[in-house]
Structure 1
Amino acid sequence: MTNDRPPPARRSATSPRRPRDRDPQTTLVAPDYRAVFAALSAPKVLLAPDLTVLDVNDAYLEMLGLPATSLVGRPLNDGFTFNPDDEGRVDRVVASLRHVLQTGRIDLLEPLRIDVPGDLPGTWVERHWLMTNIPVFDASGRVSALVHRAEDVTDIVHCSQQAAADDHVGWGTAVVDHALHLGSTVGRFQESLDRERRAALQLQDSILTPPVQPDGLRIDVRYRPASREIHVGGDWYDAFELSCGCAFVVVGDVVGHDVSAAATMGQLRGVMRGIAYDSDESPAAILDRTERTTKGLRVAAVATVAAARIGRAGPAGDRELTWACAGHLPPVLLRADGHAELLERHNDRLLGVGTDSRRSDHTALLHPGDVLLLYTDGLIERRGERLRDALRRFPLVVEEIARSSREGLVDALLARLVPQASEDDIALVAVEVLPSGDAAR
């Protein structure tokens, strides 16, 4: 494009339309989030992983004086002309976006000078920007898009420069004032993220209660939150005794990485617990009923779940294991002889995807000394490694650890597989069938 600036665009490709009149007694419709995005006051761009512009809001278009057709569908830096002197700083923005794509972490850039074209060809208008790059996660927890936010802080910079010109002390005072202002802006942003994360963690702590310890079983649970500043998700565990005397254990992962996901997790966990407690139905049927109930209650929950019922002990101490998986990773069964098996069977659809097909149950026999492991993907999934490869290796790791540290199996697994801070939440449940006479252990 040339440096001739077209007249400012007044409407983007996603500008909100006039809502239809409706009866206030009718059911409220879901909000049009594209219209919300277009109406946001701060300039924002939605980017694909390859940095192609998917959408822009009105504020961004008006800031640059460009129509939406100049940006949407094109690489971010191809949609407008920038000063060649600013090429290094533009490259920093691109590097930041790629870093967010790889790490899933928000990146806040210090003010950068990137000038915009002036009214005359070949002229430039000085602009300073405070930029924030934000990841958008898909249903699998991977970064599927990026939000680029640019705030014009030119006036702040100019005020600092003017203060320096009037100050006999020189630039020192202006730099300090500028730093204080920017520090305050960044501080408020970080405080907001911290408050959100603390609220989610407090919610999770209040919900993830200690497990029961039925006669003849020992149940260990661990929950470790992610290390990301805002990556607080909906991982959970549950372990309780049914009215029939059987034990019921669950691990699950609600789609999302925020306070809303944590709140949805609490609702889903409560619904499943209530349905399962006084029911003689199988885990698959309980998953189906939970899905129908949450849909009827308008709880918008999409999650992967593994649920297992451990029956009462028979004469030889054996117990029937019945389990079902709704899009979740398969359990691992560590036998008393030290052999570990991945209980990989047919994996049914995720909870909340809305089909009428029934989920299926699977069964196995647990003997005294056996340990059942349920876990979320944060325990084994690693960036740059195929999940299939991690699953195949996991039973071998369990066997190796069990040979030297069977008593502290869950802690040893965490220490071995997640020695440092994790990028994802981790929920882990271990159910051991105790030998006869060890029920009180």
Structure 2
Amino acid sequence: MAEDPLFELAGPLRAAYAGIDWEATGLGEPCTWSPALRSTLALALETRFAMALFWGPDLVLLYNEAFVQLIADKHPAALGRRTQDVFAEAWDQIGPMMRSVVEDAAPTWVVDAEVPLQRSGFLEECYFTFSYSPVRGPEGRVEGVVDIVTETTRQVVARRRLQVLTRLDQALAGVSSAAALVDLAVRELREDPGDLPEVVVCSGALADPVVLESVGGPGQGTLARIALPAPDPRAAQHHLRLRLSDRLALDGEYVDFLRSLAGALQQSLELLAARESDRQLSEALQRSLLTRPAHGPALQVAVRYQPAAEKARVGGDWYDAYVLPDGALAVMVGDVAGHDQDAAAAMGQLRNLTRGVAYSARLALPARVLSDLDRAMAGLGVDEVATAVLAVVEDGGPDGQLLHWSNAGHPPPVLVTAEGTARLLEEVPDLLLGLDPDTPRADHRLRLRPGDTLLLYTDGLVERRDAGLSDGLAWLVEAVSGWGGTDPEDLCDHLLDAVGEHEDDLVLLVLRARA
């Protein structure tokens, strides 16, 4: 029988069309095909878009050259067969859609729909955007369904992988230890079972950032290993063992994704090591400047400095206690805005400036010292902002000690009487240091009776992300109530135990008038 001229439009598929026993398909010889089938197939064969027809009661499959790229090794056996047999793995999904188009004579359309295909020797994760539309004969009866389709697998998988990398970068940005980084990375990667169905931490170093261990062909499983370099080369080495998807080919894009994961982890570990180095330097600088406090003959002084639990926030808190030329004792706590090396360096500069100003003053009233400090900061170009409380304690004889203090925007001191009653010294605080050298500053006075205790501190003791400052101050008053007459060292230990893990570094200075 002569070849039907319709097949001349099939191009490279011409021989495949001519070789089908069309009578056996149920469609009959091509010369008997309806005008709707012949015209729709001609349209499909002459377009460069992927198109397929599902025709007749059995929805027999016909398609053009572009459609072959989507079904891979299903061609040429798929041509002229029942669609249900060709796409048995996806029939539960696409079958009802085709039947609804035939029965309702209404089109349907989906975007980026996952349609698994057994097309390259394994069941593959595939995505398509496609439209099923009815094809009517002269009498309006639906004779078949036309499918115009675009594969979007690469775009969908690439978008998913980009989202994984973005979430990983965001999650790892604030980690404070290598162990936390690994734990968080594993949790994030386990949220991507499409590409990484299994993620396990294993011991041992790797020679390369990514090592592939094929245990079979596509669809039979592949293992990959990603290095986890330790910030400290003396520490135990670990890596991630990843089982890759058996529904995706291990192509160049998959390998690039693994290398991007390895790069993200490596970069996060390097940043972590740099932050840890900065933190250690800041803490060492800070501790070197926080010398042992002086004691007066009628006074006991205890101090504590503790770095933040969140290591990136170490840097700007300080205390000081020293004897002035007239025998009075000056005590101070302060907090420079900012953290790490810059704040630690600024803290040392302000602490030493205050000492010099106070020691050389003819009358070391705290308000005057802080005003002179403000002017010195402006004149010397010390471009920092800080809060501070400066107090000067003079011998008041048998009735106790005379306390003068001035507050530059700092949390209020706490007085604990010998009987254990605690209250905040809530005078209105003056402006922070470093904002206006001409701002007026006020002195406040009270008498420390024998056994009374003064507590100075920085905001790391009372500030929490989940509570306001007023809540923290109320907690502090309650925490020290009943501790009048207590040894200052014991009171410091009590407060550090009570506060537990804290989000900012903190300083305590406890001064007690001897009974």
* Same fold, judged at TM 0.5 (above): yes
1:250 corresponds to 2:311? no
> 1:288 corresponds to which residue?
371
Deviation at 1:98, TM superposition (A): 8.9
Structure 2 distance, partners of 1:94, 1:327, is 39
Deviation at 1:172, TM superposition (A): 4.8
Structure 1 distance, partners of 2:467, 2:497, is 19
- Deviation by residue 1:280-315 (Cα, 9 ceiling, x = unmatched): 13111111111111221111120010111111232x
Structure 2 distance, partners of 1:174, 1:430, is 54
Deviation at 1:171, TM superposition (A): 5.4
- Deviation by residue 1:204-256 (Cα, 9 ceiling, x = unmatched): 11100010111110000000011223211200000111111111100000000
Deviation at 1:273, TM superposition (A): 0.7
1:428 corresponds to 2:428? no
Deviation at 1:188, TM superposition (A): 2.5
- One of 286, 289, 302 as aligned partner of 2:385: 302
> 1:359 corresponds to which residue?
441
> 2:321 corresponds to which residue?
239
Amino acid at match of 2:281: A
Work out the percentage of aligned pairs sharing the same amino acid.
36
Structure 1 distance, partners of 2:488, 2:389, is 23
Deviation at 1:90, TM superposition (A): 3.8
Where 2:395 maps in the other structure, the secondary structure is coil
Deviation at 1:404, TM superposition (A): 8.4
Whether the aligned pair in 2 keeps the contact of 1:304 and 1:326 (CA below 8 Å) is yes
- Deviation by residue 1:90-113 (Cα, 9 ceiling, x = unmatched): 488579859979x99999786999
> 2:421 corresponds to which residue?
339
Q: 1:394 to 1:274 in 2, by over 3 A?
A: same
Structure label with greater radius of gyration: 2
Structure 1 distance, partners of 2:168, 2:185, is 14
Amino acid at match of 2:410: H
Describe how 1:92-111 pairs up with structure 2 within 5 A: 93=166
Where 1:385 maps in the other structure, the secondary structure is coil
> 2:357 corresponds to which residue?
275
Report the number of matched residues.
Answer: 305
- Deviation by residue 1:377-402 (Cα, 9 ceiling, x = unmatched): 11111221111122233222211455
Structure 1 distance, partners of 2:177, 2:334, is 23
> 2:5 corresponds to which residue?
none
Q: 1:227 to 1:241 in 2, by over 3 A?
A: same
> 1:48 corresponds to which residue?
none
- One of 295, 305, 309 as aligned partner of 1:227: 309
Whether the aligned pair in 2 keeps the contact of 1:224 and 1:425 (CA below 8 Å) is yes
1:372 corresponds to 2:454? yes
Structure 1 distance, partners of 2:267, 2:304, is 37
- Deviation by residue 1:114-142 (Cα, 9 ceiling, x = unmatched): xxxxxxxxxxxxxxxxxxxxxxxxxxxxx
Whether the aligned pair in 1 keeps the contact of 2:333 and 2:507 (CA below 8 Å) is yes
Where 2:312 maps in the other structure, the secondary structure is coil
Q: 1:383 to 1:213 in 2, by over 3 A?
A: same
Structure 2 distance, partners of 1:431, 1:405, is 9
Where 1:358 maps in the other structure, the secondary structure is coil
- One of 323, 327, 335 as aligned partner of 2:409: 327
Deviation at 1:181, TM superposition (A): 6.2
Structure 2 distance, partners of 1:392, 1:181, is 48
> 1:40 corresponds to which residue?
none
Whether the aligned pair in 1 keeps the contact of 2:420 and 2:481 (CA below 8 Å) is yes
Structure 1 distance, partners of 2:297, 2:222, is 74
Amino acid at match of 2:270: R
Q: 1:345 to 1:98 in 2, by over 3 A?
A: farther
Higher helix share: 2
Give ranges in structure 1 of 5+ residues lacking alignment.
Answer: 1-81, 114-158, 436-441
Deviation at 1:182, TM superposition (A): 5.8
Deviation at 1:317, TM superposition (A): 3.8
Structure 1 distance, partners of 2:437, 2:379, is 14
Deviation at 1:406, TM superposition (A): 7.3
Describe how 1:3-402 pairs up with structure 2 within 5 A: 86=159, 90=163, 93=166, 172=223, 175=226, 184-279=266-361, 280-314=363-397, 316-354=398-436, 356-402=438-484
Amino acid at match of 2:323: E
Q: 1:99 to 1:245 in 2, by over 3 A?
A: same
- Deviation by residue 1:256-294 (Cα, 9 ceiling, x = unmatched): 012100000000000001111132131111111111112
Structure 2 distance, partners of 1:294, 1:211, is 24
TM-score after normalising by structure 2:
0.52
Structure 2 distance, partners of 1:173, 1:385, is 46
Amino acid at match of 1:425: D
Amino acid at match of 1:434: R
Structure 2 distance, partners of 1:104, 1:192, is 11
> 2:37 corresponds to which residue?
none
Q: 1:164 to 1:256 in 2, by over 3 A?
A: same
Structure 2 distance, partners of 1:361, 1:217, is 21
Q: 1:244 to 1:434 in 2, by over 3 A?
A: same
Higher relative contact order (CA 8 A, sep 6+): 1
Structure 1 distance, partners of 2:387, 2:168, is 33
Structure 2 distance, partners of 1:293, 1:88, is 56
Q: 1:341 to 1:104 in 2, by over 3 A?
A: farther
Whether the aligned pair in 2 keeps the contact of 1:253 and 1:304 (CA below 8 Å) is yes
Structure 1 distance, partners of 2:488, 2:392, is 23
What is the Cα-based RMSD across aligned positions, in Å? 3.8
Structure 2 distance, partners of 1:232, 1:224, is 9
Structure 2 distance, partners of 1:360, 1:92, is 55
Whether the aligned pair in 2 keeps the contact of 1:307 and 1:323 (CA below 8 Å) is yes
Whether the aligned pair in 1 keeps the contact of 2:286 and 2:315 (CA below 8 Å) is no
Query: Structure 1 runs of 4+ off > 6 angstroms?
Result: 98-101, 103-109, 403-407
Structure 2 distance, partners of 1:269, 1:404, is 28
Q: 1:415 to 1:303 in 2, by over 3 A?
A: same
